[in-house]
Structure 1
Amino acid sequence: MAEVATSASSSANSSARSDPLLVVVDPVARRTDGESVRIAKDVLSAGASHTKVCLPDGPEEFARALGRRGSRRPVVVGDDSTLLRAVALLHRQRELAECALSMVPVGPALGLARSLGLPTGAVAAARTVLDGAERRLDLLVDDSDGVVLGTVAIPPLPVPVPGREDPVSGPGGPASFRPWLRTCQSLVRTLASSRPARTALVPGAAGPARLRVEVDGSTLVDLDQPVEGVSVTPGAAGAAVVEVRPLSVGAQASPLTVSGRTVTVSGAHFRYRADAVVCGPVGTRTWVAREGAWGLTLPAT
């Protein structure tokens, strides 16, 4: 794991923040958008009194760098999965309540970062790290000690996966020097496109589900009422927002929406999506909303 320590120049010291930064750059961000990573590092190094940059090669080094932050304020550079990994690590170490995270979103999957209010431009995001304010946010903790920052979806709704370049036929790839290979690939694609389209199946997402949903001990929907979907989202003041969409027969059924601190879902083994991760199958799962459980640096208002 590469580490680089930098300090603000003397001309910038008068305006530099006094708290030192630990900047942990996810390897995927370095590969997918190295230019944004470079810009973010330059802005942070110029604006903070002291900046230590860590370039972990994998999850273990990422966890080790975060665990050795000392008095430095952690700044993660990466996409939604990077933020989720950092929050989960701090939660497991029982250090989340005392640690304010900062993030520079870089990468293809930034839906969660946007929903939390983070700017996605490298310069604006780095300036937010330096000039923003910590905001305490709610989250969900399940009975397996997992954390959810955004939404739990049952059944798991598909998550759009950004397109990736074909490693063989992409620009500059080996196929650029093999015209015959390009011809073969084109023929295969043509044959594939002539077949009837098949619907991509998401595990656990086929057909209605029969689930019991309990909020603070009261049953919202029981096993005898099939549902099209259930979502659980951190709300405000330590409450989770639960929405149940009953299976519509004829006229469209209105969703049932309630708020509560503890949500338990049970029934036949089901899968669910927590943020962007599909989990399960499980027979029962309980989520508890925790008020102000973590801190994130957001643009000052």
Structure 2
Amino acid sequence: MSPGHPPPDSDREHPLLLVIDPAARAVDGESVRIAKDVLCAGASSVKVCVPDSAEEAERALAHRGRRHPVVLGDDSALLRTVRALHRDRTLGEAPLALVPIGPRSALARGLGVPGQVLPAARAVLDGVERELDLLVDESGGIVLGALSIPCGTPVSRTAAHWWTPVEKTARSLVRTLTAPIPVNGSPPPQRLRVEADGVLLADLDQPVREVSVRTSPSGVAEVFVRRTEGAEHVRAQARTITVSGRDFRYRADSAVTGPVRTRTWTLEPSAWRLTVPRR
């Protein structure tokens, strides 16, 4: 993953395709208006797309021509856009920009996009391109930030909060259960086979608590296998990671997928470019 560098010409001189996510319009129309005003005033040419569906947004992206895509929306809108461009094999043709609008923007902030509307809109006009790696699985799924296998049915934050009083009640009523009740929604260990570039990191006879994978500035994926208490954790770097086991689920960025029995993720270095502020 290379450091950010200025584009050949300022984005002020490039025509933009402004894709306004329907959810962003619904939750914060005022922020959408502000971002649109800033971008239309600062760019040489702006075409505004207000799609009613993901399919309509994908059609606009496919017919954007030389325009640089700019998404007004949250992490979900960013992921849909990257997925659509990657599927069409046009992800590397032009830098992508995002103005975060919506409740979920932690991924975008982690990639370097400002969390506030005005700084993010200004970065679209005056920022630099940052090359980023991509994790792609054999089913066409992508990972921009991090991948984790919780080794059990993932519990949402709301569900975990709800589980706490239930757990206390269960503990007081049932003292003879042989299987311990998960604490704070922590999933039980799971038996997984984990391979990194063909090197075995964990096998089915070695229960693990969690497997996490994320891209790194070194251009390879960092793999961390957290074993059960008392066992040594394992770290590795790899371009290809394969996990297999009995009906496991995994979290790719903010989405939970599964159950599956095997999945292979391959790192695509410098697969896409994101516009971020100048340092």
**TM bracket (short chain):** 0.7 to 0.9
What is the aligned residue count? 249
* Residue equivalent to 1:9: none
* Residue equivalent to 1:211: 192
How many Å apart are 1:280 and its aligned residue?
A: 1.3
**Residues in 1 aligned to 2:156 and 2:134: alpha-carbon distance in whole angstroms:** 20
Tell me the alpha carbon deviations over residues 120-160 of structure 1, each in whole angstroms, 9 at most, x when there is no partner. 11110000000001111011011112110011110275555
* Residue equivalent to 1:117: 112
Does the residue aligned with 2:235 lie in a helix, a strand or coil? strand
Unpaired segments ≥5 residues, structure 1? 1-14, 162-192
Tell me the alpha carbon deviations over residues 201-227 of structure 1, each in whole angstroms, 9 at most, x when there is no partner. 9xx973111001001101011111100
Q: TM-score, normalised by structure 1?
A: 0.78
Q: TM-score, normalised by structure 2?
A: 0.84
Relative to structure 1, the CA distance from residue 269 to residue 84 in structure 2 (aligned partners, 3 Å threshold; closer, same or farther) is: same
Does the residue aligned with 2:226 lie in a helix, a strand or coil? strand
How many Å apart are 1:91 and its aligned residue?
A: 0.5
Higher relative contact order (CA 8 A, sep 6+): 2
**Residues in 2 aligned to 1:16 and 1:292: alpha-carbon distance in whole angstroms:** 20
Question: Could you tell me which of 85, 94, 102 is aligned with 1:90?
Answer: 85
* Residue equivalent to 1:65: 60
* Residue equivalent to 1:300: 278
Contact 1:16 1:46 in 2 (8 A): no
Does the residue aligned with 2:109 lie in a helix, a strand or coil? helix
Relative to structure 1, the CA distance from residue 236 to residue 293 in structure 2 (aligned partners, 3 Å threshold; closer, same or farther) is: same
Relative to structure 1, the CA distance from residue 139 to residue 16 in structure 2 (aligned partners, 3 Å threshold; closer, same or farther) is: closer
**Residues in 2 aligned to 1:158 and 1:41: alpha-carbon distance in whole angstroms:** 37
Contact 2:196 2:242 in 1 (8 A): yes
**Residues in 1 aligned to 2:80 and 2:94: alpha-carbon distance in whole angstroms:** 14
Relative to structure 1, the CA distance from residue 205 to residue 93 in structure 2 (aligned partners, 3 Å threshold; closer, same or farther) is: farther
* Residue equivalent to 2:179: none
Question: Could you tell me which of 15, 26, 29 is aligned with 1:31?
Answer: 26
How many Å apart are 1:238 and its aligned residue?
A: 2.9
Question: Could you tell me which of 230, 255, 278 is aligned with 2:233?
Answer: 255
How many Å apart are 1:266 and its aligned residue?
A: 0.7
* 1:43-62 correspondence to structure 2 within 5 Å: 43-62=38-57
Instruction: Tell me how large the CA RMSD over aligned residues is.
Output: 2.2
**Residues in 1 aligned to 2:257 and 2:190: alpha-carbon distance in whole angstroms:** 16
Does the residue aligned with 1:113 lie in a helix, a strand or coil? helix
How many Å apart are 1:228 and its aligned residue?
A: 0.5
Does the residue aligned with 1:198 lie in a helix, a strand or coil? helix
* Residue equivalent to 1:273: 251
Unpaired segments ≥5 residues, structure 2? 1-9, 168-181
How many Å apart are 1:236 and its aligned residue?
A: 2.8
Q: Equivalent pairs: percent with the same residue?
A: 56
Between structure 1 and structure 2, the one with the greater Rg is: 1
**Residues in 2 aligned to 1:197 and 1:242: alpha-carbon distance in whole angstroms:** 35
Contact 2:154 2:187 in 1 (8 A): no
Relative to structure 1, the CA distance from residue 254 to residue 39 in structure 2 (aligned partners, 3 Å threshold; closer, same or farther) is: farther
Does the residue aligned with 2:272 lie in a helix, a strand or coil? strand
Residue 127 in 1 paired to residue 122 in 2?
Answer: yes
